[in-house]
Amino acid sequence: MALLEINQLRKTFGGLTAIEGLDLHVDEGEIVSIIGPNGAGKTTLFNLISGLFPVDEGEMLFAGQSLNGLFPNQVTELGLARTFQNVRLFPNMTVRENVMVAQHCRTKSGILRSILRTSKFRHEEAEIKARAEEVLGFFGSRLVGYRFDQPAFVLSYANRRRLEIARAMGTDPTMILLDEPTAGMNPKETTELTGLIGKLRDDHGITICMIEHDMQVVRGVSDRVICLDYGRKIAEGTYQEVATNEQVIEAYLGRKATDAAS
């Protein structure tokens, strides 16, 4: 059953067409990778789904609900979280607080309850904290213990990426959009994260759609691969199918180069 379904999506920026007539679906429990050369419209697609940009034409359905015209926080509330390509944490908040913020849409305490410190409030606050620490535990020992109270800006690059994923997990999603989760990581970290992405689906039942440039990662975890170019879908299928697709090779390497090579 399709968890996320996109029909005839279109988005233009002035004269530039970023997404054109795109059909796409992600089934529940799937790991789908989206690849494509720079400027293919991959991140734009994520921004449209998560409500950061308004859609020009087309329809996006998540678990049967239309995402069109929703604010980003409403999309997250439906259970669709995301990470960002250029890691954007709250650098001056602690590691734990970064994840605690993510529980915002799952909790209710308002001004009055916070001021009066009712037992309900204290109970909820303890739950938020416990949930945040549980999520951070997903990455083994990397983000726990003394890390809880460190501000996010002291983290190494790889840890920042991990914290971003933890933060997305903190919103209790059914699906996560990962925007280049392994960018800037070394081979060892990349392998580790590839394993974790699989675990995210297998152990936590979270459906994943990710943009990725590292073909090792794509091959390692994807059930299905979709290739975009100039805002259109040019290929779809298993990794093998897409990797050997003429149009995909052409999009990455260019026509002349392939001609010359053959």
Partner 1 sequence: MAQTTKTPTAAPPGDLPPTRQNFVDLVKAAEWGLVGGATATFVSAIGMVPDFDGRTLIDPFLTLGYLVLFLVPFAFGYMAARPLPTLEGQEPVRVGPKNVLAGAIAGTVTGLVLFVPTLVAVNFNLRSVFVNLSPAMADTLTLGQSLGVGLLLLVVLCLVAGAMGAGVNVIPARWRVPVMTGLLWVLTVGLLEDLATQLLRGLNLDALVGVFFAPGGGLKPAGAIIVFVLVFSLQLVFQRRPPGLKARYQALDQSERRRWTIILIAATAVIVYLIPIVLGGFMSEILDLVGIYLLMALGLNIVIGFAGLLDLGYVAFFAVGAYMTAVLTSPGSPALTPELTFWAALPFVVLAAALSGVLVGTPVLRMRGDYLAIVTLGFGEIARILFLSDWFDPVFGGAQGITQIPSPSIGPFEINTPPQFFYPIIVMVFVAAYISWALANSRIGRAWNAIREDEPIAEALGVNIVTAKLSAFVVGAALASFAGALFASKIGAVFPNSFSIIVSIIVLVIIIVGGMGNLAGVAVGALVIVGLPQLLREFDEYRFLLYGALLIFMMLAKPEGIIPSRRRVAELHQEEMSQDAWLTAEPESELDEARTTPATAKD
Interacting residues with partner 1 (CB under 8 A):
50-52, 71-73, 76-77, 81-82, 84-93, 97, 100-107, 109-111, 114-115, 117, 121, 124-125, 128, 142, 146, 150-151, 153-154, 156-160, 167, 171, 180, 183-184, 186, 188-189
CB of 3 to partner 1, least distance (A): 18
Q: Which residues, other chains included, contact 54 with Cβ-Cβ below 8 Å and sequence gap of 6+?
A: 69
Beta bridge partners of 66: 61
Instruction: Give residue for tokens 């997305």.
Output: 168
The two structure tokens encoding residue 57:
């034409």
CB of 167 to partner 1, least distance (A): 7
The residue count for the chain: 262
Asked if residue 177 lies in contact with residue 83, where contact means CB atoms within 8 angstroms, the answer is yes
Residue 260 burial class via C-beta count within 10 angstroms: exposed 0-12, middle 13-18, buried 19 and up = exposed
Q: Give the C-alpha separation, 17 to 73, whole Å.
A: 26
Residue with smaller CB distance to partner 1, 149 or 246: 149
How is residue 151 annotated by DSSP?
Answer: B
CB of 215 to partner 1, least distance (A): 18
Residue with smaller CB distance to partner 1, 50 or 222: 50
Residue with smaller CB distance to partner 1, 50 or 174: 50
CB of 131 to partner 1, least distance (A): 12
Secondary structure element (H or E) that encloses residue 243, with its range: helix 239-243
CB of 256 to partner 1, least distance (A): 26
